[in-house]
Amino acid sequence: MNTSIPTIGGHVEFFEFMALDENEKWLEDYIQSESIPRQPRKMYNRPFSGLQNLEHLLYNDHPKVLFNVMRMDSDAFIALRDILVSKGLLTDSRHVPAIEQIGIFMRIIAFAAGDRECAEMFQHSLETISKYFNATLQAIIAITPELIKLPDANTPCSSKVHRDSRFWPHFKNCLGAIDGTYISAIVPNSKKLAYRTRKGTIAQNVMAVVGFDEMFHYVAAGWKGSASDMRVLRWALDFGDFIVPRGKYHLVDLGYANTSKFLAPYRKMIYHIGEFRGRNARQYKNKEEKFNHRHASLRNVIERSFGILKQRFAILNSMKPFPLQTQRDVVVACFALHNFIARYSLRDTLFHQRDTDELEPDLDDVELTEQQEEAQDHSRVGDRRLGRRRGVYYRWEDCFAQVNRYPGALYFKVASRAEGERRLQQHVSRISQTSSGASTLSMTSLTVDQLHATSCDDTNVNAITAALLVGLLVGLALGPSRRIE
Instruction: Find the Cα–Cα–Cα–Cα dihedral 265, 268, 273, 279, rounded to 10°.
Output: -130
Please say whether the beta carbons of 365 and 182 come within 8 A: yes
pLDDT of residue 50: 78
Nearest to 387 by CA among 288, 294, 249: 249
Nearest to 242 by CA among 225, 219, 264, 259: 219
pLDDT of residue 301: 93
Tell me, what amino acid is at 430?
Answer: R
pLDDT of residue 267: 87
pLDDT of residue 409: 36
pLDDT of residue 483: 34
Q: pLDDT by residue for the chain (485 residues), tens digit each?
A: 444 555 544 444 444 444 445 556 666 666 666 555 666 656 666 666 778 888 888 887 677 888 999 999 999 999 999 999 999 999 999 889 999 999 999 999 999 999 999 999 898 999 999 999 999 999 999 999 999 999 988 888 888 888 888 888 889 999 999 999 999 999 999 999 999 998 899 999 999 999 999 999 999 999 999 999 999 999 999 998 899 999 999 999 988 989 999 999 988 887 777 667 666 446 778 888 888 888 988 999 999 999 999 999 999 999 999 999 999 999 999 999 999 999 998 888 898 775 544 444 444 443 333 333 333 333 333 433 343 333 333 333 333 333 333 333 344 445 555 666 666 666 556 544 533 333 333 333 333 333 333 334 444 545 555 556 655 555 555 554 333 33
CATH number of 159-273+286-353: 3.30.420
pLDDT of residue 389: 35
Separation CA 193–CA 203 (nearest Å): 11
pLDDT of residue 58: 84
* pLDDT tens digits, one per residue of 268-298: 887 777 667 666 446 778 888 888 888 988 9
* pLDDT tens digits, one per residue of 126-161: 999 999 999 999 999 999 999 999 998 888 888 888
pLDDT of residue 411: 40
- Residue 216 makes CB contacts below 8 A (sequence gap 6+) with 148, 208, 209, 210, 305, 335, 338, 339
- Residue 45 makes CB contacts below 8 A (sequence gap 6+) with none
Domain ranges of the chain: 50-147, 159-273+286-353
Separation CA 449–CA 314 (nearest Å): 47
